[in-house]
Amino acid sequence: MSLDNIFKFLTGELGNMFVSPHKTLEVEIQPQTSSIGTTKPSSHTIKKLIAMINASMLQDILYNCVSNTPNIQGAALVSPDGLALASVLPAEMDEERTAAMSAAMLSLGERIGNELARGNVERIVVEGEKGYGIMVGCTSEAVLLILASTEVKQGLLFLEIKRVVAQIAPVLV
C-alpha cells in the first residue's frame, strides 16, 4: 500500500469507519532522503503507520463487540506470550494481568487437551457465578477473550465470537 493510499484511507470515508471520532490518530512521518535528492518515507515509518492503523482497527472491533452486544461485558485480544494487543475491559480489571492470565489459561488448556487426547482446543470456557470467560484462537499470534454475564444466550454468544474472530483475523495478517 503506497503512502498516498494510506493517507486517502485515513482521510476518506473508509477510514472514518475504523477511526473512532472520539480518538485522535496522530501520525508523524519522517522523510528519508535518497542519494538523488528526492524525499520519501522510510519503510520502517510506513510499517509503524500500518501497525498504528491495525491497532486502532482492532480496538474498534472490540469496542463495537462490547458496546453493541447485550451481556458482553469486556473483550481482550492477547498474544500467546501474555501481551495485550487491544482490549475493552471493565474499569476494575487490569489489562496486563488479564492478558497474562489469559495466556496461562490458554497454555494450560492446550496441555490438558493434549493429555486427554482431545485434539486441538477450539475454546476454553470458564463459568462462574457472575458470568463467563471464553477464550478462542484468532490466529497463531492472538487469542480473543470475551467476558459475558450469566444472562447471555450461549448460542448467540458463540455466534458473535465467530463474527468477531472473522473481523480480527484479516487485520492481524
- Tens digit of pLDDT for each residue in 8-20? 555 554 444 444 4
> What global pTM score does this model have?
0.71
Q: pLDDT tens digit string along 61-83?
A: 999 999 999 999 999 999 988 89
For 25, the grid coordinates are 490518530
Q: In whole angstroms, how large is the CA radius of gyration of the chain? A: 19
38 vs 1, 29, 31, 35, 41, CA distance in Å? 20, 15, 9, 8, 10
Distance (Å, whole) CA 107 – CA 76: 17
Q: Phi and psi (nearest 5°) for 168?
A: -75, -45
Contact 6, 53 (CB under 8 A): yes
* Residues whose CB falls within 8 Å of the CB of residue 58, separated by 6 or more in sequence, listed in order: 77, 85, 86, 168, 171, 172
